[in-house]
Amino acid sequence: MRFVWFWTFWHWSREGFRAGSLLRGPLHGIAGHWDEWYRHEASPEDRRAVEDAGRSKAAQRAFVGWLARHWAREAEWRGSRPPARFVLGQLAHVAPFDRWPALEKYRASYGPAGVWAIVLAEGSAGESADVRRVEALVVPADADAAAPAVVAEGFEADDAALDAARRAALGMLGGTGLLAFLALWVAGGRRPYPRWLGALLALGWAAAAALAGWLLVGPDPGERLLPLVAALAALWAALVMTATGAAAAVVGGAWRLGARWRRRLEADQLRLRMSGGLRLIGGSAGVPFSLNALLAVYRANPAAASASWLWERFFRRMRAGAPGWAATGSVAADGRISPVVLESKLRACLRHEDISDVLTPWQRGARGRVIRQLADGLKETHGGRTAAALRVGGARLGFAAELPRLRGHRCRHLAQAMMSIGGLTSVPQVAVNVLALAVSAVMLAALPDLRGILRPPPAPAAVAPSSPSPYHLWVSLDTKHPEDFEVLLESRFWSNRRATVAAYGGDNASVRAELRLNRLDFQTVSDEEDGTVWIERRRRFLTRAFAPGERVGRYTLSYLTRLGHD
Amino acid sequence: MTSPVTSSSTISAKHRTLKRRRLAALAMLAACAGGAAAVAGCGDPNAVRVALQASPAAGRDVRRLDISGQIVGPPAGLHYKWFSVSGECDPQESTLPATSFRFAEGATRDRVSVEVWRDDRRVAQSEIDVRLDEQRARMMTQPGPDVRIEITQIPPYEPEGGDFTRAEIGGTVNGDVSPDYQVVIYARADAWYIQPNSHAFHAIRQGKTWGSWTHTGSSYAALLVRPGFDAYTRLDVLPQVGEYVLARSVVEGARR
Amino acid sequence: MSRQLSIEQLLRWRLALAETEAPPAPRAARLLEAVRPWWELWPERFRAQAARLGRMQTAAFGYAMADPRLARTGHPVPALVVHSEELETFVRVLYFSVRGDRLRLRFHLDGVSARAEPGYEVTFVSDGAAVGAADARPLLAAAAEHSTDGEYRLDAALPDEIAGRWERLKVTDPMPFRLILRPTAAGAG
């Protein structure tokens, strides 16, 4: 077993904690514990082995590799594996590791940085050095109850500001912040469909809109009304089920995973590192701190993101794009972003070669026009930036380059920042959603009409009361859908009539059609009871009335006149 | 050399493809479900019910009745077969829901039934018990009582009439008046309309008077009738005295 | 006229010159005074500082972690840091081990100014808060060296009577001492 001495130290640390001689847990106190063990507890053999491990850079690298790949996976403390970067970062500052070249990069860095923060030095008007690298790491909670939830390394900040950033990150993992993020995604975010399916769905919505429009204003389809309406209803239902099913799956997965990550962030300690030794005044670095906190949670277990398409996509984009993104803004615990002083910060980003995008609060000074003006101003002042110099035959050639374009992303809420940095906003999806909402609104308004066509109510029977007035004929029907029927009178003695059916209240409340009887001037029979009353289906689509549907009832005039009076 | 502490693992493209296929399958399933729902949502649109009505046939043959069927459901394509126990239906098969029934000799009751067919499938049936109106038969042979009716309170002459008009009407009856006789009032507009409501019968008051209100018309008629009189709501021609009608009076509206 | 001198003569001349320039040897009393503990040299100062130590109320730590069941607390130890002025603060004992007559201690200074001294002379004062400042007495003094990130380590010999009492102490127990910290010029190596 290689590097047994490190295991010996680790076990001493764990036992010391259990026995009550060490206050801090083996993980958080690893630097101090190592210092103590190495000076006083290590055996001569252990010391020699440690010296051997540090004898050459290759040996040192071997130790680092072993610690990251083997020890970190086998060691365990309170159910969690120790994060290798954190352990190396702590050890890199204590003897003998503080003299090892192989640990040089761990002394100042936890590894890949996240979103840059823009923190102006005192008196600075906005220099590239004001754009500062931020690293974040989550570490299993320390056993020391006095340990803070957020540790600032390399800078000082108000506890309240750090806490707000942490709470905002927690909210984005589970709470109103996540709800806002999911709502933004539902409203206009990229979908997880393959491209062909997305195009098919868009076509489907367009087809549904066209079909609905045809039904509203096109020629009467006649006998084809039923298949057309069935096709429209089926298409709309399929589109709605697909859209809502996919959205529900994505939202559900994101919510569940977010809840797990939130529990982790609540229990763990967040360590933020930003070089410069600054004392931050105000909370204007809240946005990058919150975003990097999220990134740290993800990096602690990236494989978990596979449980949610949305989180996986967001973090994949963020991890890849973070080196080119800067952010500024004060963030509240609920995720809302407050304005900050901006001009110098934008200038700093414009001067920084690596920054292509900047997240800012929603304020006037962050508009694209303002950024372009600042960029033009810098170009005039500096005549462009010299990107490279080349020595050719003793002469030094400089290449003047355009200042890179800086894209500003204004945000009122951390959720908007996440949509921007995750590349989740999709203009085509917004258009499809608008179309889908319009079509769905029409379909929902027309649902009673569609039901009347697709699943017509049963044919009603004529019931009492009949009309108390001799001048009218009442055709009362036992139906709950008066709007779906019409009544016709065909007679050779009386004028033919067509009347709609409606619900009437009062003493003779009923669902009925009321027909005014007028004797024909040229009747062809003398039978005053000559007349057939037909019950007909009415077919409509919103404001459009189609040709009458089939007849579903036939009554004699004499029967209806006497109904209820036999 | 890659950093030894890089611990994030990449999501396999295969896993992403599998997710997308699941979503596509969901979409197809949704389409099928939508179609099935649309189809399954349609109930039986051709269900038919029938109710029979019997009424005296025009003319003086009390043994003949008009049987008509009231159809609930789509009547298109239906044809009807008529049956009776002892009498006769004419026609026995028809494309309209109506037939004429005649009682057998000596029979006073019968049962008329109808089968409703669409193509070669029976879709509905119904029956009605009919009874010979023996009272009417007697009334046709026996002389009626000696009674008279007069309209003494004549409403105005307003030929258009209509159900927004109103006037008082009244009169007297004389002769061998039975307490169960009643008065039926009609007003004429384009036809005779029973007044003031459908199926309204007016009792005879003490002092052998009667009265009510009526919609106006060009003429007014009062009929003194026996119990059991089937008062038509609307008439082209007033019934003559005989059978159920014991007396009648017709006056023109009072001109101002 | 030239004078040729031998190396030996040169060395003897140089030695004589050095002896002439050398300061006078300290007196024995002075030497004895140098090894006496400071509280014996400046008892009034010690009493004042001990009294001030004794008046310090022990603060309670706030809990920042989500699950207090997993947490353990130490007991803050009042400390007086004597720079150009006296600073009241607290230390957290991170490691406490008594083996035989050796005390090994690690502590972390809380709330002190940003400068991290390379080392302190640490005077252990009996915890007189309960019994009154008059009974506060010095227990021992030892050098603490800065280790890492605000932590200091200390390795000292303990008198037997103290070692016997402190042997069973755990880091989570209330500490029976308070501390006076005086910065040293450089960390005691």
Sequential DSSP letters for B99-114: EEEEPPTT--EEEEEE
Q: What does DSSP say about strands A357-361 and A325-327: parallel, antiparallel, or unpaired?
A: parallel
Q: What is the pLDDT of residue B6?
A: 39
> Distance from A405 to chain C by nearest Cα, in Å?
41
Q: What is the pLDDT of residue B253?
A: 94
Chain C neighbors of A149, CB-CB under 8 A: 64-66
The DSSP letter of residue C74 is -
DSSP conformation letters of C88-143 = EEEEEEEEEEEETTEEEEEEEEES--S---SEEEEEEEE-TTTT-GGG--EEEEEE
- The reply to whether residue A454 touches residue B42, judged by beta carbons under 8 angstroms, is yes
Rounded Cα–Cα distance for residues A494 and A215 (Å): 36
With a cut of 70, which residues of chain A have pLDDT below it? 1, 143-145, 382-404, 566
The architecture of the domain spanning B143-252 is: Sandwich (2.60)
- The reply to whether residue B39 touches residue A111, judged by beta carbons under 8 angstroms, is no
To the question of domain B49-139 being in CATH 2.60.40.10, the answer is yes
> Distance from C167 to chain A by nearest Cα, in Å?
11
- The reply to whether residue B73 touches residue A552, judged by beta carbons under 8 angstroms, is yes
- The reply to whether residue B34 touches residue A517, judged by beta carbons under 8 angstroms, is no
A470–chain B Cβ distance below 8 A for any pair: yes
A64–chain B Cβ distance below 8 A for any pair: yes
Q: What is the pLDDT of residue B28?
A: 61
Interval B21-46: pLDDT, tens: 666 666 566 555 555 554 444 446 67
Chain B neighbors of A234, CB-CB under 8 A: 31, 34-35, 37-38
Chain B neighbors of A64, CB-CB under 8 A: 4-5
Count the helix, strand and coil residues of chain B and give each as a percent rounded to the nearest 5. Answer: 15, 45, 40
CB pairs under 8 A between A and B: 187
Q: What is the pLDDT of residue C68?
A: 45
Local confidence band at B1 (pLDDT 50, 70, 90 cut-offs): very low
Rounded Cα–Cα distance for residues A473 and B233 (Å): 10
For C64-76, letters b (16+ CB in 10 Å) and e give bbeeeeebbbbbb
Q: Tokens at residue A564, please?
A: 């209820």
Chain A neighbors of B47, CB-CB under 8 A: 458-459
Provide, rounded to the nearest whole percent, the portion of chain A with pLDDT above 90: 69
> Distance from B175 to chain A by nearest Cα, in Å?
30
CA dihedral A451, A455, A456, A458 (to 10 degrees): -130
Radius of gyration of chain A (CA): 38
Q: Tokens at residue A9, please?
A: 């130290």
Rounded Cα–Cα distance for residues A533 and A473 (Å): 10
Partner chains of C (3+ C-beta pairs under 8 Å):
A
- The reply to whether residue C73 touches residue A21, judged by beta carbons under 8 angstroms, is no
Q: What is the pLDDT of residue B40?
A: 47
B49-139 and B143-252 agree in CATH topology: yes
Question: Among residues 483-542 of chain A, which lie with CB inside 8 Å of chain B?
Answer: 493, 517-519, 526-529, 535
pLDDT value at C8 more than 70: yes
pLDDT value at C62 more than 80: no
**Does residue C140 contact residue C159 with C-beta atoms inside 8 Å?**
yes
Nearest CA in chain B to A195: B20
Interface test with C, best of A23, A78, A151, A266 (most C CBs within 10 A): A23
Picking from B30, B33, B74, the nearest residue to A551 by CB comes out as: B74
Q: Say if B and C touch: at least 3 Cβ pairs within 8 Å.
A: no
Question: Among residues 223-282 of chain A, which lie with CB inside 8 Å of chain B?
Answer: 230, 233-238, 241-242, 245-246, 249
**Does residue A541 contact residue A215 with C-beta atoms inside 8 Å?**
yes
- The reply to whether residue A21 touches residue C96, judged by beta carbons under 8 angstroms, is yes
- The reply to whether residue B75 touches residue A554, judged by beta carbons under 8 angstroms, is yes
A556–chain B Cβ distance below 8 A for any pair: yes
Please, what is the average pLDDT of chain B? Answer: 84
Nearest CA in chain A to C67: A267
Q: What is the pLDDT of residue A282?
A: 79
- The reply to whether residue A145 touches residue C151, judged by beta carbons under 8 angstroms, is no
- The reply to whether residue B35 touches residue A493, judged by beta carbons under 8 angstroms, is no
- The reply to whether residue C147 touches residue A40, judged by beta carbons under 8 angstroms, is no
> Distance from A185 to chain B by nearest Cα, in Å?
17
Q: What is the pLDDT of residue C63?
A: 41
Check residues B22 and B207 and name the one with the higher pLDDT.
B207
Local confidence band at C86 (pLDDT 50, 70, 90 cut-offs): confident
Nearest CA in chain A to B77: A551
Question: Among residues 451-510 of chain A, which lie with CB inside 8 Å of chain C?
Answer: none
- The reply to whether residue A238 touches residue B162, judged by beta carbons under 8 angstroms, is no
pLDDT value at C13 more than 50: yes
- The reply to whether residue A141 touches residue C171, judged by beta carbons under 8 angstroms, is no
Q: What is the pLDDT of residue B42?
A: 45
Q: What is the pLDDT of residue A183?
A: 97
Long-range pairs for B237-243: beta carbons < 8 A, 24 or more residues apart:
B237/A526, B237/B192, B238/B186, B238/B192, B241/B144, B242/B139, B242/B140, B242/B144, B243/B136, B243/B139, B243/B140
Chain A neighbors of C92, CB-CB under 8 A: 23, 146
Check residues C131 and A123 and name the one with the higher pLDDT.
A123
Chain C neighbors of A267, CB-CB under 8 A: 65-67
Q: What is the value of pTM for the model shown?
A: 0.74
Q: What is the pLDDT of residue A404?
A: 54
Picking from C64, C155, C172, the nearest residue to A147 by CB comes out as: C64
Chain B neighbors of A459, CB-CB under 8 A: 47, 49, 72-74
Picking from A193, A201, A519, the nearest residue to B20 by CB comes out as: A193
pLDDT value at B7 more than 50: no
A36–chain C Cβ distance below 8 A for any pair: yes
Chain C neighbors of A40, CB-CB under 8 A: 104, 155
Q: What is the pLDDT of residue A526?
A: 83
pLDDT value at C187 more than 80: no
Q: What is the pLDDT of residue B41?
A: 45
Rounded Cα–Cα distance for residues B27 and A237 (Å): 11
Chain C neighbors of A146, CB-CB under 8 A: 61-64, 73-74, 92
Question: Would residue B194 be called left, alpha or beta, if left means φ above 0 and alpha means ψ between -120 and 50 degrees?
Answer: beta
- The reply to whether residue B4 touches residue A241, judged by beta carbons under 8 angstroms, is no
Question: Among residues 94-123 of chain A, which lie with CB inside 8 Å of chain B?
Answer: 111
Q: What is the pLDDT of residue B50?
A: 93
**Does residue A469 contact residue A514 with C-beta atoms inside 8 Å?**
no
Q: What is the pLDDT of residue C61?
A: 46
Q: What is the pLDDT of residue A143?
A: 67
B46–chain A Cβ distance below 8 A for any pair: no
Q: Say if A and C touch: at least 3 Cβ pairs within 8 Å.
A: yes
Q: What are the residue ranges spanned by the domains of chain B?
A: 11-40, 49-139, 143-252
**Does residue A513 contact residue A489 with C-beta atoms inside 8 Å?**
no
- The reply to whether residue C70 touches residue A141, judged by beta carbons under 8 angstroms, is yes
> Distance from A147 to chain B by nearest Cα, in Å?
26
Highest mean pLDDT among A232-236, C81-85, C155-159: A232-236
A514–chain C Cβ distance below 8 A for any pair: no
- The reply to whether residue B34 touches residue A234, judged by beta carbons under 8 angstroms, is yes
Check residues C67 and A91 and name the one with the higher pLDDT.
A91
Q: What is the pLDDT of residue A122?
A: 85
Question: Among residues 166-225 of chain A, which lie with CB inside 8 Å of chain B?
Answer: 192-194, 197, 201
| CA separation, residue C127 to residues A60, C38, C86, C101, C113 (Å) | 46, 19, 19, 20, 25
- The reply to whether residue A242 touches residue B58, judged by beta carbons under 8 angstroms, is no
Interval B209-236: pLDDT, tens: 999 999 999 999 999 999 989 899 999 9
